[in-house]
């Protein structure tokens, strides 16, 4: 019975694939064979660095679109990101007593080291990734890059750190969940300040051309960089709690 149903599903997907490929190759529904530059893209390419009223002071057209021409899209994407991070944090939320239990249990957890070669090389690579991600984000309005890209590079760096070392490496240096959430809040605050600043200068919401030069794009890139990298880092800090500790705490909660 299930084999029959699976076969039917697979056959229908194969049929859909055939129809789609016929439409794309023979009927050219996506316009791939001519492949022109679309008028909207031409408008953005022509105006992003021009000296008119529609400029956005940035040779990097992608950043200009993301934060200036289609700024509302990106602002609400930032809120979607905020909701996803907050959802994760609230699912894994611990009460104050439970946090104390976690700290007590982590103190007795056996301390493990990776090999010396792995640790040294990871330290070097981490420095490089962090430098590259900062340069991607801070140069985002001049060269290819921006806040989102730099932030996700930084998230990769923190994943590597968690794989080779552990969350204790960060917490021994004094970087706890409270600090990373604070940095996340600073990033969101920079974005909101930059977005509301044109109102004080007599403009409209998100009209960042009123700010001097490319300051608006730079601020938004820095804010998004902080928000993305520290948002991911704070989630990883909670996910890095050992499984047996979490299970013991949940067992206390359920029964």
Partner 1 sequence: MSAGFLMFYSVLVLFGMMLLGIYGVVTRSNMVKKIIMLNIMGDAINMLFIIIGYRLVYPVFPPVYEGHIPFDEFLRTAVDPVPQALVLTAVVIGMAMNILLSTYAIQIYRLYGTVDVRDVAHLRREGK
Separation between Cα atoms, residue 1 and residue 7, nearest integer Å: 10
By CB under 8 A, residue 246 contacts partner 1: yes
By CB under 8 A, residue 201 contacts partner 1: no
By CB under 8 A, residue 213 contacts partner 1: no
By CB under 8 A, residue 33 contacts partner 1: yes
Q: Minimum distance between the CB of residue 216 and partner 1, rounded to whole angstroms?
A: 16
How big is the chain, counted in residues? 255
Separation between Cα atoms, residue 187 and residue 232, nearest integer Å: 13
Stretch that binds partner 1, among 70-78, 111-119, 127-135, 200-208 (CB under 8 A): 70-78
By CB under 8 A, residue 132 contacts partner 1: no
Is the Cβ–Cβ distance between 253 and 114 less than 8 Å? Answer: no
By CB under 8 A, residue 207 contacts partner 1: no
Task: Give one DSSP letter per residue of 157-200, joined into a string.
Answer: HHHHHHHHS-HHHHHHTT--HHHHHHHHHHHHHHHHHHHHHHHH
Choose among 72, 87, 62: nearest CA to 145.
62
Separation between Cα atoms, residue 224 and residue 184, nearest integer Å: 9
Write out the binding residues for partner 1, residues 147-176 only, by CB under 8 A: 148-149, 151-152, 155
Residues that bind partner 1 (CB under 8 A): 6, 9-10, 13, 16-17, 20-21, 24-25, 30, 32-33, 35, 37-38, 40-42, 44-46, 48-49, 59-62, 65-66, 70, 73-74, 77, 80-81, 84-85, 87-88, 91-92, 143-144, 146, 148-149, 151-152, 155, 228, 231-232, 235, 239, 243, 246-247, 250, 254
């Amino acid at each position: 019975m299930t084999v029959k149903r699976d076969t039917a599903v697979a056959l229908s997907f194969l049929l859909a694939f055939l129809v789609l490929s016929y439409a794309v190759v023979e009927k050219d529904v996506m316009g791939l064979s001519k492949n022109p530059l679309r008028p909207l893209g031409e408008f953005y390419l022509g105006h992003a660095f021009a000296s008119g009223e529609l400029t956005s002071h940035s040779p990097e057209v992608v950043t200009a679109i993301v934060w200036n021409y289609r700024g509302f899209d990106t602002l609400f994407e930032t809120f979607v990101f905020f909701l996803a991070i907050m959802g994760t944090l609230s699912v894994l939320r611990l009460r104050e007593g439970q946090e104390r239990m976690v700290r007590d249990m982590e103190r007795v957890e056996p301390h493990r080291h990776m090999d010396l070669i792995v640790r040294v090389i990871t330290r070097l690579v981490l420095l490089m990734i962090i430098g590259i991600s900062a340069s991607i984000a801070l140069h985002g309005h001049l060269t290819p890059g921006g806040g989102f890209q730099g932030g996700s590079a930084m998230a990769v760096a923190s994943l590597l750190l968690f794989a080779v070392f552990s969350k204790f490496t960060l917490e021994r240096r004094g970087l706890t969940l409270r600090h990373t959430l604070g940095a996340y809040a600073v990033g969101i605050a920079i974005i909101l300040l930059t977005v509301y600043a044109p109102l004080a200068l007599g403009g409209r919401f998100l009209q960042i051309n009123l700010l001097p030069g490319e300051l608006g794009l730079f601020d938004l890139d820095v804010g998004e960089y902080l928000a993305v990298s520290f948002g991911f880092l704070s989630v990883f800090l909670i996910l890095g709690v050992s499984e047996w500790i979490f299970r013991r705490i949940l067992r206390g909660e359920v029964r």
